[in-house]
Amino acid sequence: MITDAGHAHPTVSVRRLYELHDVGCSWDLHQLGWDVTNRDQPLADDIQAVVLGWS
Protein backbone atom coordinates (compact mmCIF):
# COMPACT_ATOMS: atom_id res chain seq x y z
CA MET A 1 0.00 0.00 0.00
CA ILE A 2 2.74 2.49 0.91
CA THR A 3 4.74 1.45 -2.15
CA ASP A 4 1.73 2.06 -4.39
CA ALA A 5 0.97 5.36 -2.67
CA GLY A 6 4.61 6.40 -3.09
CA HIS A 7 4.43 5.71 -6.82
CA ALA A 8 1.16 7.61 -7.10
CA HIS A 9 2.45 10.58 -5.06
CA PRO A 10 6.24 10.75 -5.51
CA THR A 11 6.54 14.16 -3.84
CA VAL A 12 5.10 12.88 -0.54
CA SER A 13 7.64 11.47 1.92
CA VAL A 14 7.39 7.88 3.10
CA ARG A 15 7.01 9.16 6.64
CA ARG A 16 4.02 11.28 5.62
CA LEU A 17 2.48 8.37 3.72
CA TYR A 18 2.66 6.25 6.88
CA GLU A 19 0.99 9.06 8.82
CA LEU A 20 -1.73 9.57 6.22
CA HIS A 21 -2.55 5.86 6.14
CA ASP A 22 -2.21 5.56 9.94
CA VAL A 23 0.17 2.61 9.67
CA GLY A 24 3.75 1.89 10.65
CA CYS A 25 6.67 0.28 8.93
CA SER A 26 6.01 -3.11 10.52
CA TRP A 27 2.44 -3.14 9.18
CA ASP A 28 3.68 -2.36 5.68
CA LEU A 29 6.38 -5.02 5.84
CA HIS A 30 3.83 -7.56 7.05
CA GLN A 31 1.67 -6.76 4.01
CA LEU A 32 4.68 -7.50 1.81
CA GLY A 33 5.01 -10.92 3.44
CA TRP A 34 7.97 -10.16 5.67
CA ASP A 35 8.13 -11.77 9.10
CA VAL A 36 7.79 -8.92 11.57
CA THR A 37 7.20 -10.92 14.73
CA ASN A 38 10.69 -10.06 15.90
CA ARG A 39 10.66 -8.71 19.46
CA ASP A 40 12.98 -5.91 18.32
CA GLN A 41 10.50 -4.59 15.77
CA PRO A 42 9.21 -1.75 17.98
CA LEU A 43 12.81 -0.57 18.36
CA ALA A 44 13.31 -0.81 14.59
CA ASP A 45 10.14 1.24 14.05
CA ASP A 46 11.40 3.90 16.46
CA ILE A 47 14.78 4.04 14.74
CA GLN A 48 13.11 4.36 11.35
CA ALA A 49 10.94 7.22 12.62
CA VAL A 50 14.06 9.08 13.78
CA VAL A 51 15.88 8.48 10.49
CA LEU A 52 12.87 9.55 8.44
CA GLY A 53 12.56 12.61 10.64
CA TRP A 54 15.98 13.74 9.44
CA SER A 55 15.06 13.38 5.79
Domain ranges of the chain: 2-54
How high is the pLDDT of residue 11? 92
CA angle 35, 40, 23 (to 5 degrees): 65
| Surface-to-core class of residue 45, CB atoms within 10 Å of its CB (0-12 exposed, 13-18 middle, 19+ buried) | middle
pTM of structure: 0.50
How high is the pLDDT of residue 38? 65
Weakly modelled stretches of the chain, pLDDT under 70:
29, 31-32, 34-38, 55
How high is the pLDDT of residue 26? 72
